[in-house]
């Protein structure tokens, strides 16, 4: 991203059942940006994985804790450039592989967009074939066997979460029937434990273009909050956050928009469960919004780290912490080939967007690799992360999992 500057125009809308604009303060021009690594971060710590796993030829998209403290990780696996499958693996708390499942649905291999576990370790998944002409939602039993799978017309499935009573919510996009090649709408649906679709809601864009749901947070009342990218009136992006009750009634909607457009980066629940935290990409920075779960009101609106938000706790944010530094600080990368030392890990920022610590390691990271963390979960002092170690060519990519 380019250096941070002030937002030129920002409006936030929040109300019950409909939308209205209300002005919000723009980011001050003299606001101190979050610390970024220049050379090695001063607060760098060892990654310290109790165990880790690497699986060649694949990528990890999401993970969740199981009831025994182990993990379920989901992503995709490549058998060749033309053949791929959705991939699931269950780990014990000490790192043993309990089972692995690969599934190519109906000869249309695809990727997992989101993964969630319920209290009985049953697994919910959302995904899409690589053709991106359909979306699917599935549920697996705790032993890794498929319970049901629903293939729905439309675009990609992006995220899932379980209601406390066992129903599965999913979000993604649905193709615009009048413009199937260039437009889509935000889609959210609720599935019964049996796999029946209980209800679905579609939010059209305000202009033609690609709109989609990106992330979900289930609440303890049985409802759900969705964040999506909605095409605005002049074809720029708006970040739409909406809460539904268990029957699919809209409770509130908050819209974040800027003159040059916005894009919702991630959404996670607060540690107390009374807020949803949404990081939104602007043209020159990332903004963090803390929304009251009850009514969608914006409690705070602050600068956020440029790194992808993965989780939050009482003290701050956990973000992707992969970076690289030149082995020779005087090497000019614009004029010569410089050697880089690759680090992979994650970082922690407080609520003032100041760096608290950075955990990373270099051992085992290929010189030509670019690591990316796609998911992080934390529980009872344990942090687990999963992502991709990207090397030249998809067949050389690797799933990477670290449990600390």
pLDDT tens-place string over residues 381-400: 999 999 988 765 555 688 99
Range scoring the smallest mean pLDDT among 15-29, 100-114, 124-138, 156-170 = 15-29
377-381: long-range contacts, CB 8 A cutoff, minimum separation 24 = 377/63, 377/64, 377/65, 377/71, 377/311, 378/311, 378/313, 378/318, 379/65, 379/69, 380/69
Give the tokens for residue 208.
């033609």
Query: Which DSSP symbol is given to 164?
Result: T
pLDDT of residue 28: 41
Using an 8 Å Cβ cutoff, are 98 and 92 in contact? Answer: yes
Q: Which of residues 21 and 332 earns the better pLDDT score?
A: 332
Tell me the average pLDDT of the chain: 84
Domains in the chain (CATH in brackets) are 12-24+37-403 (2.130.10.10)
pLDDT of residue 69: 96
| CA proximity to 215, closest of 223, 232, 227 | 227
Mean pLDDT value of segment 207-229: 95
pLDDT over 70 (residue 243): yes
Neighbours of 166 (CB within 10 A): 15
Q: How confident is the model at residue 144 (pLDDT cuts 50, 70, 90)?
A: very high
pLDDT over 80 (residue 239): yes
* Burial tier of 177 (Cβ tally within 10 Å: 0-12, 13-18, 19+): exposed
Place of tokens 């908050």: 254
Q: How confident is the model at residue 332 (pLDDT cuts 50, 70, 90)?
A: confident
Percentage of the chain lying above the pLDDT 70 cut: 82
pLDDT of residue 361: 84
C-alpha–C-alpha distance, residues 58 and 400, integer Å: 9
Radius of gyration over alpha carbons of the chain, in Å? 21
pLDDT of residue 129: 66
Q: Which of residues 324 and 238 earns the better pLDDT score?
A: 238
pLDDT of residue 168: 97
pLDDT over 50 (residue 23): no
Using an 8 Å Cβ cutoff, are 319 and 346 in contact? Answer: yes
Using an 8 Å Cβ cutoff, are 145 and 125 in contact? Answer: no
pLDDT over 90 (residue 117): yes
Q: How confident is the model at residue 19 (pLDDT cuts 50, 70, 90)?
A: low
Give the tokens for residue 29.
């021009």
pLDDT digits (tens, 9 = 90+) for 259-299: 889 999 999 999 899 999 999 999 888 999 999 999 999 99
pLDDT digits (tens, 9 = 90+) for 336-385: 888 888 888 999 999 988 999 999 987 666 666 677 889 999 999 999 99
Residues 6+ apart with CB under 8 A from 190: 163, 167, 168, 169, 170, 197, 198, 199, 200, 224, 246, 248
pLDDT of residue 37: 58
pLDDT of residue 255: 96
Three-state DSSP string of 270-285: CCCCCEEEEEEECCCC
């Amino acid at each position: 991203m380019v250096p941070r500057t002030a937002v030129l125009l920002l409006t936030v809308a929040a109300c019950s059942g409909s939308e209205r604009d209300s002005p919000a303060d723009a980011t001050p021009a003299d606001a101190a940006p979050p610390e970024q690594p220049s050379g090695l971060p001063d607060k760098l710590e060892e990654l310290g994985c109790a165990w880790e796993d690497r699986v060649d030829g694949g990528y990890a998209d999401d993970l969740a804790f199981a009831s025994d403290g182990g993990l379920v990780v989901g992503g995709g696996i490549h058998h060749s450039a033309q053949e791929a499958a959705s991939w699931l693996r269950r780990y014990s708390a000490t790192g043993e592989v309990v089972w692995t499942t690969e599934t190519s649905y109906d000869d249309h291999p695809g990727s997992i967009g989101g993964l969630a576990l319920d209290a009985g370790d049953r697994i919910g998944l959302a995904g899409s074939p690589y053709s991106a002409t359909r979306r699917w939602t599935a549920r697996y039993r705790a032993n890794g066997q498929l319970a049901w799978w629903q293939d729905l017309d439309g675009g990609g499935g992006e995220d899932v979460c379980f209601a406390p009573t066992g129903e599965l919510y999913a979000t993604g996009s649905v193709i615009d029937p009048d413009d199937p090649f260039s437009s889509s709408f935000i889609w959210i649906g609720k599935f019964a434990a049996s796999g029946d679709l209980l209800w679905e809601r579609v939010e059209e864009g305000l202009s033609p273009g690609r709109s989609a749901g990106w992330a979900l947070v289930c609440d303890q009342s049985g409802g759900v909050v969705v964040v999506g990218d909605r095409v605005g009136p002049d074809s720029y992006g708006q970040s739409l956050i909406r809460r539904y009750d268990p029957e699919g009634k809209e409770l509130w909607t908050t819209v974040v928009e800027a003159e040059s457009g916005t894009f919702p980066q991630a959404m996670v629940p607060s540690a107390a469960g009374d807020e949803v935290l949404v990081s939104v990409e602007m043209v020159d920075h990332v903004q963090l919004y803390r929304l009251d779960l009850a009514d969608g009101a914006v409690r705070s609106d602050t600068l956020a780290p440029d790194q992808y938000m993965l989780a939050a706790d009482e003290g701050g944010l956990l973000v992707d912490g992969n970076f690289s530094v030149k082995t020779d600080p005087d090497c000019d990368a614009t004029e010569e080939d410089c050697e880089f030392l690759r680090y992979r890990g994650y970082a922690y920022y407080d609520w003032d967007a100041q760096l608290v610590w950075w955990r990373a390691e270099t051992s085992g990271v290929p010189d030509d690799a670019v690591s990316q963390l796609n998911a992080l979960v934390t529980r009872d002092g344990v942090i687990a992360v999963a992502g991709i170690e990207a090397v030249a060519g998809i067949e050389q990519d690797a799933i990477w999992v670290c449990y600390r």
